[in-house]
């Protein structure tokens, strides 16, 4: 059965909503909301988004047709004419509840994919593009790294392996992306009861903040339950003035600089030590790791602050 990735319809809606928010912000009474968009920053974000849109069909082919289908066929061969998982049960069909389960598993995978993008520096070098703007708006939502989409499918291939059709997973990935886009708005307040289990706009503001108490929090997709289970959830404190962006920004609107600046920093850090273990750790440990303690990871900084406040 064939399905269309909902992102095909989402892209023109993204552009329309960015235009609406941009127009609204420029007519807002509060200066902070008036300055929500900066033209050079928006141009850089749109360039990142257009590049991702061009690359996406290639990665969709690799992920959906090659990788997901290969894994699905390998772990779900036909046995007596029936698609059967190697664990012995009939592979899943297209019932409505199967769609719900697939979306939940997609959300679980998204949480770990997103969390590792923040915990492994080489992955962070690709993901930092999305966080590199000091503005939080719908334009920032399309500011996506071009290299992230090459390794993202590997976090999800276990789902077709256990029997979910690859095209179902691709649709769920698209739905996840649609939800993630609209989270990048400062105009949506806390949503009451929904905040108990859903990942909302205020929670995503926390995620994009560089305030030390907020960093590496709220990695969820649709849901916030995985953040709560695995200890990465943080509620927005409206008394705290949020500063968006990253502590080591690219300081450029040049798309190539934005795409590659963290890889350059990794290379420079690796040259600080001749020890091959140190070189490996500079590339694959958490951002901020150093062999001599000259820089610290977010967890190390947060731990120090917690101890000082005791």
pLDDT band at residue 284 under the 50/70/90 scheme: very high
* Closest CA relative to residue 290, chosen from 260, 264, 270: 270
In a domain, 231, yes or no: no
User: Is 110 in contact with 88 (CB distance < 8 Å)?
Assistant: no
User: Is 159 in contact with 102 (CB distance < 8 Å)?
Assistant: yes
In a domain, 306, yes or no: no
Average pLDDT value for residue range 22-36: 73
User: Is 109 in contact with 159 (CB distance < 8 Å)?
Assistant: yes
In a domain, 69, yes or no: yes
In a domain, 94, yes or no: yes
Average pLDDT value for residue range 185-197: 90
In a domain, 24, yes or no: yes
In a domain, 302, yes or no: no
In a domain, 16, yes or no: yes
Does the structure show a pLDDT above 90 at 8? no
User: For the segment 217-272, what is each residue's pLDDT rounded down to a tens digit?
Assistant: 999 999 999 999 999 999 998 888 899 999 999 999 999 999 999 999 999 999 99
pLDDT band at residue 36 under the 50/70/90 scheme: confident
Q: What is the residue-averaged pLDDT of the chain?
A: 90
In a domain, 274, yes or no: no
Q: Total structural domains in the chain?
A: 1
User: For the segment 69-124, what is each residue's pLDDT rounded down to a tens digit?
Assistant: 999 999 999 999 999 999 999 999 999 999 999 999 999 999 999 999 999 999 99
* Closest CA relative to residue 176, chosen from 150, 207, 152: 152
Q: Which residue would you say has higher pLDDT here, 12 or 41?
A: 41
User: Is 226 in contact with 107 (CB distance < 8 Å)?
Assistant: yes
pLDDT at 260: 95
Domain containing residue 139 = 6-184
User: For the segment 144-170, what is each residue's pLDDT rounded down to a tens digit?
Assistant: 988 888 899 999 999 999 999 999 998
Share of the chain above pLDDT 90, in %: 68
Q: For residue 239, what are the β-bridge partners? A: none
């Amino acid at each position: 059965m064939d399905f269309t990735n909902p992102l095909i319809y989402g892209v023109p809606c993204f552009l329309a909503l960015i235009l609406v928010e941009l127009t609204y912000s420029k007519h807002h009474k509060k200066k902070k909301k008036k300055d929500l968009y900066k033209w050079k920053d928006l141009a850089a974000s749109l360039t990142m988004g257009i590049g991702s849109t061009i690359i996406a069909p290639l990665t969709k082919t690799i992920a959906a047709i090659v990788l997901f289908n290969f894994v699905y066929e390998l772990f779900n061969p036909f046995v007596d004419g029936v698609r059967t998982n190697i664990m012995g049960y009939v592979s899943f069909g297209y019932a409505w509840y199967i769609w719900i389960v697939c979306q939940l598993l997609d959300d679980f995978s998204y949480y770990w994919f997103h969390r590792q993008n923040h915990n492994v520096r080489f992955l962070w070098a690709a993901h930092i593009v999305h966080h590199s703007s000091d503005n939080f708006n719908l334009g920032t939502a399309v500011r996506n790294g071009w290299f992230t989409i090459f390794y993202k499918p590997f976090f999800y291939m276990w789902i077709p392996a256990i029997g979910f059709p690859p095209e179902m997973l691709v649709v769920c990935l698209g739905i996840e992306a649609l939800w993630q886009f609209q989270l990048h708005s400062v105009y949506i307040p806390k949503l009451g009861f929904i905040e108990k289990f859903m990942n909302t706009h205020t929670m995503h503001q926390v995620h994009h903040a560089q305030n030390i108490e907020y960093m590496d929090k709220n990695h969820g997709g649709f849901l916030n339950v995985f953040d709560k289970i695995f200890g990465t959830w943080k509620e927005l404190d409206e008394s705290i003035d949020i500063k968006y962006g990253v502590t080591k920004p690219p300081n450029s609107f040049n798309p190539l600089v934005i795409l590659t600046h963290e890889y350059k920093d990794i290379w420079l850090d690796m040259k600080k030590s001749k020890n091959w273990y140190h070189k490996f750790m500079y590339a694959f440990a958490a951002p901020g790791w150093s062999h001599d303690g000259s820089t610290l990871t977010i967890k190390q900084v947060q731990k120090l602050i917690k101890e000082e406040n005791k």
